[in-house]
Amino acid sequence: MKKYLLLSLLVVGCSAGHFDKQTSFQHANFASETDCKAAQAKEFVNCYQNLTFYPTGEVYLIVTDIGNMGKYDIDGSDIHLNFFESVDGEFGKEFVFKKASDQLLKDPYGRDWVRR
């Protein structure tokens, strides 16, 4: 019985490369909310880009108005993202975010993504 318990704990421990609960970050596309609202008066634009990690290893990214699904894995302070298709906007299919803290990520361009 102890052998099975130990094996179960080892299998569960393999998920250490993922967030343990749904975790979201966002990047502001504008310097201020006022700037965003002014831009929205002309055409539809997102004020923020959104990135959501799931404990299953799946990730969902909204850069423009299109949702992008993929997989991720955490290796130290690196979060490796691999999307099923190339992500719209400036990202490709595979890229790495840096975990600056529990509240802040840096994308490949050095921009801040703040935990929501």
Prediction pTM value: 0.80
Tell whether 87 is covered by a domain.
yes
- The total domain count for the chain is 1
Tell whether 64 is covered by a domain.
yes
Tell whether 92 is covered by a domain.
yes
8 A C-beta contact, residue 55 and residue 18? yes
pLDDT tens readout for residues 21-75 = 999 999 999 999 999 999 998 888 889 999 999 999 999 999 887 889 999 999 9
Q: Which two structure tokens, joined as six digits, stand for 45?
A: 């634009």
Which residues on neighbouring strands pair with residue 69, listed in sequence order?
Answer: 60
Tell whether 76 is covered by a domain.
yes
CATH number at residue 43: 2.40.128
